[in-house]
Amino acid sequence: MSKKFYEPSLGGILSSLTALTLLVSPLFAGGAIVKENKKSEALAATTNWQEFRTVCGKCKMKFPKNPDHLSEKMRLAQEGYDLKYDAYISAADQQTIYLLLIAQYPEFVDQSYAKMSLESFLNGILTHNPNNQLIFADLSLVDGHEALDFFIRTGGVYFKGRALMVKNSLYLMAMECEVQNYDEASYNTFVTSFKLAK
């Protein structure tokens, strides 16, 4: 398959990936949240976080607890290939979730599409739910790779994250929480702990 084939289908692929991300995310998708008055747990010290290496071994990062792992393949019939993704989900408490999603595209997809991929990904998130409000989005370089930092609010829930393209893999690191449980220090600990395997 040529790169020209891939270019027009990118938005649809990333919209599908966005939908998958939201499926594994009960807070942002509007799922039920068990209410507890444990704000002190939500603001727990990040010094007890555990470093975790992904099953595929491509990266490592810190989570508040050992994450649950989901691995799936999604057939993209129109594009003619499978999209493989792994999701790692860790709940700091019942109002705060940390997510690492790794989507592996076919070999012909490369980093030259990074900026377009990241912008399409963000547009997919924003159009998935008309109540999504973009607080900010910034493109940057992280270890020499194009990255997109974003912050979204949907009603009483924040969704803040960083998406990063490395060769043919998309990495999404995100924190979801109720607005009153937002903890910038914990988010920074999570995102800055991400390291690609050498």
Domain annotation covers residue 197? no
> How high is the pLDDT of residue 18?
52
> How high is the pLDDT of residue 163?
92
Domain annotation covers residue 129? yes
> How high is the pLDDT of residue 15?
45
Total domains, the chain:
1
Domain annotation covers residue 35? no
Instruction: Point out the residues of the chain with pLDDT beneath 50.
Output: 1-17, 20, 22-44
Its sign, for the CA torsion 143, 57, 10, 137, is: negative
Domain annotation covers residue 190? no
CA distance 43 to 92: 9
- Provide the 10 A C-beta neighbour count for residue 161: 25
* CB-CB contact of 146 with 111 (8 Å): yes
DSSP, res 33:
-
CATH of the domain at 129: 3.40.1000
> How high is the pLDDT of residue 108?
63
> How high is the pLDDT of residue 113?
64
pLDDT per position as a tens digit, 50-94 = 999 987 768 999 999 999 998 888 776 766 767 788 989 998 888
Give the three-state DSSP class for 10.
helix
Domain annotation covers residue 198? no
Domain annotation covers residue 39? no
Domain that holds residue 134: 3-27+49-109+116-179
The helix-helix angle for 3-23 and 114-128 (nearest 10°) equals: 40
Domain annotation covers residue 78? yes
